[in-house]
Structure 1
Amino acid sequence: MLDPETVRLLRRHERAQRRPPGERWSPTSPIFTLGSGPPVQPSHLTHRLHAGIVLTADTHVSVSPQLYHDSACATARLVSKAVRATNRKISKTRETTLLTCGSP
């Protein structure tokens, strides 16, 4: 069973594929056609879908370790930057306190 959004998109595609006025169209006409008009064979779609899934899985396997590494480095940079900013604030507060209260 398809989700409502997929059904909506398929129906919109079906309307776009209908022949111009004057040409006979039937609800049993193919939804997916080649540019030249004949229907796309299910085996073609199965092959394309399988190839797409394999490519996607291969891409995720090869990209994920680098993505994790890059994310960890970016997080470490942000934490270091926040620590330096906090240390500067503490130093300024300490200097201000010493100036107003006098040094020990």
Structure 2
Amino acid sequence: MEIYEVFRQEEPGSGFVHAGSLQAPDIELAQQYARDIFSRREDAVRLQYALLYQHRIEAPILCLNGRLWVRISAQVYNTLEDVEALARAIEAWQ
């Protein structure tokens, strides 16, 4: 496994900024991992913080293949209303 440094360009013509590092067995997987991990990472972090600090909902948000995914984990004390509140909070997020 090798360590790869990931850089990205926010807008055409702008400079590249360091997005982070990742470990992968080869360059092809490193490129795929970089797209999965860093393409919408800020959106994932912003949504996760919004859920926690605005709605008091704790749920991990992942970016895979350029899409955001929420990992729903229910415990015995969670109700259907809790899941519905999560859905409403995600729909309202901008």
Q: TM-score, normalised by structure 1?
A: 0.27
Which of these two proteins has the greater Rg computed from alpha carbons? Answer: 1
The structure with the greater share of residues assigned to helix is: 1
Flag the structure with more relative contact order, 1 or 2, with Cα contacts below 8 A and sequence separation at least 6: 2
TM-score (norm 2): 0.29
